[in-house]
């Protein structure tokens, strides 16, 4: 990492699959030298809620000696959002900036190297394999590579291991539902957002309830649908109940909050006792993995496949198992 005299790694615009990240906007950061310093890094469309501790911790690890950090957690917990935020704040720590590689649309591990080469604008050469061309280009690079959504492509993770071994100033921030199990990997479990205890929320003021990150996210997304929405003494306990019922999972909270135009928090909470068919119909341009498969192809994945077979987020998430819960017991 270096903070002096930034140079550009390449002049390109962002190369990414916007269909997978349409809640974000492609916006290359321009460094002091005028070069693109954040290739493929996307500017979020909505404000980040909470996560101060996680951001400080992750930045601290990269400013220390960690070279491979993996944000771990189930789909919808906020790994990608956190990775974008951390990478954005580290742009000036790396002489060659940050490169964001979205892998969610890539289904074949054999195509990971090619996808990375595309984002880095490395042209194929007959005399070298793509992995060799990547290693050659990155050997002298002082760069943070963000590899988003690796869990379905674990067979390709040794490529990252060998790039880290041969490129001494390269660092990698990966997001995945499972560990990569690479040498030197620093696993960083991403927890759900903080939620009030619904039992004690009855006695808390709306201001106190509104201090929890999950509630702040709910209120902010509810306002996008119903600008007049506010946390009041009449609805604070129900909002706390919704956030607790959804276990602080940002994706589920966003989908629930989008319903406030038609349902009060109390009605929403009551419906959440029923099968999760309520939480469908999120943004049409949400990442494919986060969309309602009823409105998409049956191949759509993530929590929807699981939730539609179970009665609640609670049963889903406990069946999947939250590693941070286990470690705290």
Interacting residue ranges for ligand ADP, rule: CB under 6 A: 23, 46, 48-51, 73, 75-81, 175, 217, 250-251, 254
- Map tokens 């493929």 to a residue: 40
Measuring CA to CA, which residue among 194, 153, 191 is closest to residue 174? 153
Q: Select from ligand ADP, Mg ion, none the partner in contact with residue 21, using the beta carbon and a kind-dependent cut-off of 5 to 8 Å.
A: none
- Pick the closer one to ligand ADP by CB: 37 or 81: 81
- Pick the closer one to ligand ADP by CB: 77 or 174: 77
CA 279 to chain centre: 20
Q: How many residues sit close enough to Mg ion to count as binding (CB under 5 A)?
A: 1
- Our finding on whether 157 is near Mg ion (CB under 5 A) is no
- Pick the closer one to ligand ADP by CB: 175 or 235: 175
- In eight-state DSSP terms, residue 227 is T
- Pick the closer one to ligand ADP by CB: 51 or 259: 51
Q: How far is the CB of 305 from ligand ADP (least distance, A)?
A: 14
Q: Select from Mg ion, ligand ADP, none the partner in contact with residue 55, using the beta carbon and a kind-dependent cut-off of 5 to 8 Å.
A: none
- Our finding on whether 307 is near Mg ion (CB under 5 A) is no
- In eight-state DSSP terms, residue 6 is -
Q: b/e string for 112-121 if b means 16 or more Cβ within 10 A?
A: bbebbbbbbe
- Pick the closer one to ligand ADP by CB: 23 or 152: 23
Measuring CA to CA, which residue among 104, 115, 97 is closest to residue 39? 97
Measuring CA to CA, which residue among 276, 210, 198 is closest to residue 238? 198
d(CA 272, CA 311) in angstroms, rounded, equals 9
Q: How far is the CB of 71 from ligand ADP (least distance, A)?
A: 8
Contact 54, 113 (CB under 8 A): no
d(CA 305, CA 74) in angstroms, rounded, equals 13
Give the other-Cβ count within 10 Å of 165's Cβ.
14
Q: How far is the CB of 155 from Mg ion (least distance, A)?
A: 19
**Residue in the shown chain whose Cβ atom is closest to ligand ADP:** 78
Residues 62-81, interacting with Mg ion (CB under 5 A):
80
Q: How far is the CB of 254 from ligand ADP (least distance, A)?
A: 5
Q: How far is the CB of 34 from ligand ADP (least distance, A)?
A: 30
Contact 213, 191 (CB under 8 A): no
Q: Which residues bind Mg ion (CB under 5 A)?
A: 80
């Amino acid at each position: 990492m270096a903070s002096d005299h930034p140079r550009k790694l390449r002049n390109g615009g962002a190369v990414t699959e916007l269909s997978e990240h349409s809640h974000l906007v492609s916006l290359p950061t321009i460094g002091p030298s005028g070069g693109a310093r954040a290739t493929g890094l996307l500017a979020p469309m909505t404000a980040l809620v909470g996560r101060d501790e996680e951001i400080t911790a992750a930045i601290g690890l990269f400013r220390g000696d960690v070279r491979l950090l993996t944000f771990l957690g189930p789909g919808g917990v906020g790994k990608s959002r956190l990775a974008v935020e951390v990478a954005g704040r580290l742009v000036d720590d790396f002489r060659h900036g940050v490169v964001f590689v979205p892998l969610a649309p890539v289904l074949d591990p054999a195509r990971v190297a090619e996808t990375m080469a595309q984002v880095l604008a490395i042209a194929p050469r007959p005399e070298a394999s793509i992995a060799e061309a990547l290693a050659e280009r990155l050997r002298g690079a002082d760069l943070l590579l963000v590899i988003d959504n690796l869990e379905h492509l674990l067979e390709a993770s040794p490529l990252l291991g060998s790039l880290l071994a041969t490129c001494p100033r390269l660092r990698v921030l990966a997001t995945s539902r499972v560990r990569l199990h690479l040498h030197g990997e620093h696993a960083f479990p991403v927890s759900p957002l903080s939620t009030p205890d619904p039992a004690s929320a009855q006695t808390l003021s709306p201001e106190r309830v509104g201090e929890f990150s999950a509630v702040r996210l709910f209120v902010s997304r509810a306002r996008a649908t119903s600008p007049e929405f506010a946390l009041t003494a009449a609805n604070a306990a129900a909002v706390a109940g919704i956030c607790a019922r959804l276990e602080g999972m940002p994706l589920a909270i966003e989908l629930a909050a989008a319903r406030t135009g038609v349902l009060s928090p109390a009605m929403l909470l009551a419906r959440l006792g029923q099968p999760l068919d309520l939480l469908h119909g999120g943004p049409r341009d949400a990442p494919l993995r986060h969309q309602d498969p009823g409105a998409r192809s049956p191949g759509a994945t993530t929590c929807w496949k699981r939730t539609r077979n179970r009665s609640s987020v609670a049963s889903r998430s406990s069946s999947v198992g939250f590693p941070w819960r286990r470690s705290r017991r």
